[in-house]
A and B are shown apart, each in its own frame.
Chain A
């Protein structure tokens, strides 16, 4: 086959890898590459059918996920400075990343799930909707994974009807059941915690 065709296949793969690296702000692991390869290797008709990308992460002993498009970046958590008369269980404080002072939240406290007393090594996920950005700490990043939207299941009523219930759906991924969060509702809780 011609060289052009080879290039045309390689370029998007490289772009996807670079994009993923940029989002996760770290070199990709074997597992990341396997996922990306599998997604790219899937037949086109399957890929185009109702696939959605999720950024999955571990926090509070659970797997949580947000739509990959709602994740602005994933960065190692730096020092978090408490804010007098504002910091609370949900609003942890300010953290600098690339000169931007991020408002750091506790996702566990926001969702009402148990939080570790102290994290060994925490990671900040910066979620974005429109021009609004919030950062929250998680234990680790599972990765970016594609799922068929039709396979998503509704969360149980005990979660969906709860005040702190930000679950949009449940998604089955390789690592287990992930709770896909409704970022809009999550942001409402964050806003309430800082006002």
Chain B
């Protein structure tokens, strides 16, 4: 294998197969729905042909054979020699999968893999060469019966059957495909023949080792895994151009410095000449000297012009470079979901359902890491939707719905978050059936279950082993899928929520952080330092005159759109003193569905696009702060976590540990003597049950809405015990227990885990993390919860 630019040919082949297989998969599905649209076929022929060419270069005969037979079949359809049938589409999709599988093998494993899979390859190539089966639509056309298995043989000779492996300069090359020149916009990092359109470059750090040809076959050592990322080739080109330009611009600075020095010398000399001429009182010399001064001034103006140009260019280049680098992290959402149309088609056919699948927001840029993590949860959700969510065509007809069901995956940016919604128009989820199951399984009493909101009930579906599906199928319904979805989403500090209406359909709403995305923010000054509020997370900013601020029960408030809005001091909230009062007060209005508050800041600094920078992990979660950014002048700014701030505010206000602005003389509440227990639980109902149970016994109970909130409170206050759930957004209970246990300050605090998860491995995970007790939520009924708390922390 050769190496060009740090990439082995095999790596380039793999990248090329990825690109073309995505195009093949997508195009074949389109062809299936529009069999008479011959225009769809040419790009497919080109893709198959390109794979064949690339496979030949790297010497993978199995891929050459498969791609060749796929191309032949496509040519026959294009020439009208055969009709598009579902059976043929199946075979072509099978071929696409096979090519993908080939490219995913380690290079060193390929010969053995090819031998082991020779019969599958032969069967498929024979089927592709044979006339299409006349299976009536829409039933799937089974692949032709396997031909007698060929003895394992090198795949170079593998395509034994009807059509031999295409010889070099095959007659098929007479089709328009081969005649198609490489498009001018083709961006090939290297130029293997028939390079794909807009190949994505593979950037690898460090430069991968070059696989040497079979020199040491006995002890082939696998190259070390290194992190590789795909960067759009155009984007990479532009970054390289701009980096080069930046260096060129930088090199101009010594010349500019020298030129300015020369002008200074010129000016000095002209001034000296002028002074000398004036001392002598010689008008002719004075005139000459004045001319010299004039020339020096003109030179200075020229140099200043050059300098301004230099600054402008430097700024332009660095800004462009910055935007390209930011852009390089982003990938279009569509890239992460490109395999789903095919998956939906296959699963729907298997189940005999008729499903239309749409992707909205395919161009939405998504951080590459988030995109990679999204694939598995979306896969689970979509499979579930097809299998359990959507009705059979006859059921839909009977319900007055169109026979063709619909699933829509939609991505968009909102409030600095990536929102992904998967919506189906199926039968919906019955909240009551979940309620019944919760009671049946002893997870809650009937009384408490009756009080659970629909949203809380839907959350049970994310518990391991909790499934309402009546049948466990091969496709889904094993009760593990949604648990995995929940885990993966929460591991990115995201949330997932279910909305459903019986008979209308179900939506899974995922909210994920866009960690390195650009954020439009309102910049304000608090305690002399800049803070950024994500623009989409604030309601508005106001300048409120002194007269418009009134006092109610010692707390300041002002009218916002006719609504009395309490004011809080930003500096006090951040623990940075107090904001000085002025004639007019700058207020940032924050709010959600539970209410709004006005945060008083020193002044507004304006709006700016900021690149969100994650904070150093050593700082842990900082209350009220989500991330950092660097401003235009190079100084850091902190980005306010509006959601966290509102949640914390609400709690502190209710506990009396934080009070409204203007009531600073108020006390911080009564002296606490009772033992203090922190309850971390995301379900408001369960949280309230636990709070009431413990409060009735006389404990002083504080509550946290998730693990992160709990961790912040633990560090900020004194607690004698922690009671925590496991499944919580932002930080789960296991992570919380580990954090608490790893900090010497809290190592002694007893911890009880109370969860719906009752499997042995869940208990083990809780106890291994450092919990002192593991209880299920059924323990509320049999006093074991109270007994455990009393045993661990003592009487109130």
B27 at the interface (CB under 8 A from A): no
Q: Write the A160-195 contact mask toward B (1 if CB under 8 angstroms, else 0).
A: 000000000000000000000000000000010011
Contact B625 A194 (CB under 8 A): no
- Give the residues in chain B near A82, CB-CB below 8 Å: 527, 529, 576
Alpha-carbon separation in the docked complex, A85 to B615 (Å): 14
B716 at the interface (CB under 8 A from A): yes
Contact A81 B637 (CB under 8 A): yes
A99 at the interface (CB under 8 A from B): yes
A43 at the interface (CB under 8 A from B): no
Contact A194 B634 (CB under 8 A): no
A86 at the interface (CB under 8 A from B): yes
B620 at the interface (CB under 8 A from A): yes
Give the residue of A79, A103, A191 whose beta carbon is less than 8 angstroms from that of B635. A79
Contact A83 B743 (CB under 8 A): no
- Give the residues in chain A near B144, CB-CB below 8 Å: none
Alpha-carbon separation in the docked complex, A93 to B574 (Å): 14
Contact B613 A85 (CB under 8 A): no
Q: Write the A80-115 contact mask toward B (1 if CB under 8 angstroms, else 0).
A: 011111100000011110010101000000000000
Alpha-carbon separation in the docked complex, A3 to B501 (Å): 88
Closest to B623 in A: A85
- Give the residues in chain A near B527, CB-CB below 8 Å: 82
Contact B628 A85 (CB under 8 A): no
Contact A83 B634 (CB under 8 A): no
With an 8 Å Cβ cutoff, the count of chain B residues facing the other chain is 26
- Give the residues in chain A near B619, CB-CB below 8 Å: 83, 86, 103, 194
Closest to A83 in B: B622
Q: Shortest distance in angstroms between B90's beta carbon and chain A's nearest beta carbon? A: 52
Q: Shortest distance in angstroms between B424's beta carbon and chain A's nearest beta carbon? A: 43
Contact A101 B622 (CB under 8 A): no
Contact A195 B634 (CB under 8 A): no
Closest to A133 in B: B616
Closest to B528 in A: A82
Alpha-carbon separation in the docked complex, A99 to B321 (Å): 14
Give the residue of B622, B630, B634, B637 whose beta carbon is less than 8 angstroms from that of A86. B622
Which A106-146 residues have C-beta < 8 A from chain B?
A: none
Which B496-552 residues have C-beta < 8 A from chain A?
A: 527, 529-530
| A95-B625 CB under 8 A given contacts A103-B616, A191-B618, A195-B743 | no
B580 at the interface (CB under 8 A from A): no
Alpha-carbon separation in the docked complex, A79 to B632 (Å): 13
Which A25-81 residues have C-beta < 8 A from chain B?
A: 78-79, 81
- Give the residues in chain B near A84, CB-CB below 8 Å: 573-576, 622-625, 638
B636 at the interface (CB under 8 A from A): yes
Q: Shortest distance in angstroms between B479's beta carbon and chain A's nearest beta carbon? A: 39
Contact A81 B630 (CB under 8 A): no
Contact A101 B618 (CB under 8 A): no
- Give the residues in chain B near A101, CB-CB below 8 Å: 613, 615-616, 628, 630, 636
Alpha-carbon separation in the docked complex, A64 to B620 (Å): 30
Q: Shortest distance in angstroms between A45's beta carbon and chain B's nearest beta carbon? A: 39
- Give the residues in chain B near A191, CB-CB below 8 Å: 618
Q: Shortest distance in angstroms between B619's beta carbon and chain A's nearest beta carbon? A: 6
Among A82, A83, A191, A195, find the residue whose CB has the most chain B CB atoms closer than 10 A: A83
Alpha-carbon separation in the docked complex, A94 to B623 (Å): 16
- Give the residues in chain A near B635, CB-CB below 8 Å: 78-79, 81, 96
Q: Write the A14-26 contact mask toward B (1 if CB under 8 angstroms, else 0).
A: 0000000000000
Q: Write the B628-666 contact mask toward A (1 if CB under 8 angstroms, else 0).
A: 101000111110000000000000000000000000000
| A85-B620 CB under 8 A given contacts A78-B634, A101-B628 | no
Contact A99 B638 (CB under 8 A): no
| A85-B622 CB under 8 A given contacts A99-B630, A103-B616 | yes
Contact B636 A79 (CB under 8 A): yes
Alpha-carbon separation in the docked complex, A85 to B573 (Å): 9
| A85-B616 CB under 8 A given contacts A78-B634, A79-B635 | no
Alpha-carbon separation in the docked complex, A86 to B624 (Å): 12
| A96-B623 CB under 8 A given contacts A84-B576, A101-B613 | no
Alpha-carbon separation in the docked complex, A122 to B637 (Å): 20
- Give the residues in chain A near B623, CB-CB below 8 Å: 84-85
Q: Shortest distance in angstroms between B526's beta carbon and chain A's nearest beta carbon? A: 9
Q: Shortest distance in angstroms between B613's beta carbon and chain A's nearest beta carbon? A: 6
Q: Shortest distance in angstroms between A33's beta carbon and chain B's nearest beta carbon? A: 21
- Give the residues in chain B near A195, CB-CB below 8 Å: 618, 620, 743
- Give the residues in chain A near B622, CB-CB below 8 Å: 83-86
Give the residue of A78, A86, A94, A194 whose beta carbon is less than 8 angstroms from that of B628. A94
- Give the residues in chain B near A78, CB-CB below 8 Å: 634-635
Q: Shortest distance in angstroms between A132's beta carbon and chain B's nearest beta carbon? A: 9
Alpha-carbon separation in the docked complex, A64 to B625 (Å): 35
Alpha-carbon separation in the docked complex, A84 to B575 (Å): 6
Of the A-B pairs whose beta carbons lie under 8 Å apart in the complex, a sample of 23, sorted by A's number, is A79-B634, A79-B635, A79-B636, A81-B530, A81-B628, A81-B635, A81-B636, A82-B576, A83-B619, A84-B573, A84-B623, A84-B625, A85-B575, A85-B623, A85-B624, A85-B716, A93-B636, A95-B636, A96-B630, A96-B635, A101-B613, A101-B615, A195-B618
| Residues of chain B at the chain A interface (Cβ within 8 Å) | 527, 529-530, 573-576, 613, 615-616, 618-620, 622-625, 628, 630, 634-638, 716, 743
Using A79-B635, A94-B638 as known contacts, list a sample of 12 further A-B pairs with CB atoms less than 8 Å apart, ordered by residue number in A.
A81-B635, A81-B636, A81-B638, A82-B529, A84-B625, A85-B622, A94-B628, A94-B636, A96-B630, A99-B630, A101-B630, A195-B618
